[in-house]
Structure 1
Amino acid sequence: MSSHHIVRDDQEPALIIANGAPCSFDLLGQLLEWSPIVVVLDNAIDRVLQLDIKVDVLLGDFDGDFDPEIYKEKQYPLEIVHTPNQEKTDLEKALDYLVEKGHKAVNIVWATGKRADHTLANITNIVSYRNKIKIVIIDDHSKIFLLPKRFEKWYTANTPISLIPVGKVTGITSQNLFYSLQNDDLILGYRSGNSNHVSQDGIVTITHETGDLLLMECID
């Protein structure tokens, strides 16, 4: 796996490779094929280079004795972005970088697993950046994204789906989910929509009135 950038237009999602648990080689290859830019966080760079991936941007606070210059020759042309701000995580700073460059969407891998606090913070970034860039977090077991007020998508029967409120979400109604929601509220820590599934092949419709609702397409 040496390259990427088979890109149709400027609307293709960028790709951020964070520093959590790795995903499968096949999944990473599928995402790289359509990514116009690949941003890697500093602590993940050595693992990424072992996979022979072409990196466009190396970003981080470069703590300790980390020397980003040693990667320049092998990854030429490589943009090195030093972000020493300790008020934000490296993933947040990577998102800021893409927003500044005008990107509208990003897929993020290696953002789950390992430390639970990092995983939770990474997932909630989907909400905190909702007005800046569309974020999808992907690993071998799930695809996580923020729902618009009305969502429609075709699924095969029995596809596992979880609805996770960030805070309180009101007025949720679903069609073609096994556990139907009819003007229901979900509240993080009190009532969530975990472990639902699609009733039959066809369109799933989910609407909600207020709040931030995440959808997780799950693979058991």
Structure 2
Amino acid sequence: MSSHHIVRDDQEPALIIANGAACSQELMGQLLEWSPLVVVLDSAIERVIELGIKVDVLIGDFDRDFDADSYRERQYPIEIVHIADQNSTDLDKAFNYLIKRGIPAANVIWATGKRADHTITNITSIVKYKEELKITMYDDYSRIYTLNKEFKKWYEKDTIISLIPVGEVTNITSTNLLYPLSDESLVIGERTGSSNSVLEDGLVTIQYKNGSLLMMECHD
């Protein structure tokens, strides 16, 4: 599988491939079709090469035996970015790399599943970059992204929506949800908005005042 790399002056989202559970070939193909830049975390590179994907950037701390020349030969041209910072994850490194390049958005796959600690860290880390990078995380069952303080989107009836706070989120008000919120708070570990759903075909609106709120559009 190779990406088409349709470059639109860095306006289309880059694709970051992490090292969690693989997604479907169909989902990966859809995202590759519109990705001008494919960034792979170093721990996933062999899995990605096996799928025949052309990699543009390989990034990480390379904290194991690593032969850069072999990847340059197999994936030429490829940019290899070594960041020996043990205080940030490889996904953080990829986000910061895109921000420095001035790329405004990123889609992320293979960031969930497998190790639970990696899944939790990867999902919650996207809120750190919400002011600098529009990040959407995908797997075969969910689409995850941060919500602006005022959100409006059309959905079909019964679409599963989960509102997950990172920390505490206050003064949340929603419309057109089966379980509406009216100037209420959500707190991770105490009360979340998991497994809500759209009441009727039409616009869903969500507003809140403080905190970081994740939207998870889910399907079984």
Give the TM-score normalised by the residue count of structure 1.
0.97
Q: Does 1:106 align with 2:132?
A: no
1:9 is displaced (CA, Å) by 4.6
Give runs of aligned pairs for residues 140-219 of structure 1, distance below 5 A: 140-219=140-219
Q: Partners of 2:44 and 2:68 in 1: how far apart? A: 12
Alignment check: 8 A CA contact 1:62 1:68 kept:
no
Q: Partners of 2:105 and 2:145 in 1: how far apart? A: 11
**Residue identity opposite 1:2 in structure 2:** S
1:103 is displaced (CA, Å) by 0.8
Structure 2, unmatched stretches of 5+, are none
Q: Partners of 1:141 and 1:210 in 2: how far apart? A: 28
Q: Between Structure 1 and Structure 2, how many residues are aligned?
A: 220
1:131 is displaced (CA, Å) by 1.8
Alignment check: 8 A CA contact 2:57 2:80 kept:
yes
Aligned to 2:61: 61
**Residue identity opposite 1:163 in structure 2:** L
Q: Does 1:83 align with 2:117?
A: no
Q: SS where residue 72 of structure 1 aligns? A: helix
1:93 is displaced (CA, Å) by 0.7
Q: Partners of 1:104 and 1:8 in 2: how far apart? A: 12
Q: Partners of 2:152 and 2:5 in 1: how far apart? A: 29
Q: Partners of 1:4 and 1:42 in 2: how far apart? A: 22
**Residue identity opposite 1:208 in structure 2:** Y
Q: SS where residue 205 of structure 2 aligns? A: strand
1:10 is displaced (CA, Å) by 2.9
Identity %: 63
Alignment check: 8 A CA contact 1:4 1:54 kept:
no
Q: Does 1:30 align with 2:30?
A: yes
Q: Partners of 2:34 and 2:105 in 1: how far apart? A: 12
Q: Partners of 1:51 and 1:64 in 2: how far apart? A: 22
Structure 1, unmatched stretches of 5+, are none
Q: Partners of 2:82 and 2:8 in 1: how far apart? A: 30
Q: Partners of 1:82 and 1:101 in 2: how far apart? A: 16
Moved more, 137-146 or 122-131: 122-131
Q: Partners of 2:187 and 2:42 in 1: how far apart? A: 36
- Cα RMSD over matched residues? 1.1
Q: Partners of 2:66 and 2:58 in 1: how far apart? A: 12
1:41-92 alpha-carbon deviations (Å, 9 max, x no partner):
1110111011111100011111221212211122111011111111111111
Moved more, 158-167 or 121-130: 121-130
Alignment check: 8 A CA contact 1:137 1:145 kept:
yes
1:130 is displaced (CA, Å) by 1.4
1:3 is displaced (CA, Å) by 2.4
Q: Partners of 1:10 and 1:22 in 2: how far apart? A: 26
Aligned to 1:97: 97
Alignment check: 8 A CA contact 1:175 1:206 kept:
yes
Q: Partners of 2:187 and 2:143 in 1: how far apart? A: 21
Q: Partners of 1:102 and 1:66 in 2: how far apart? A: 28
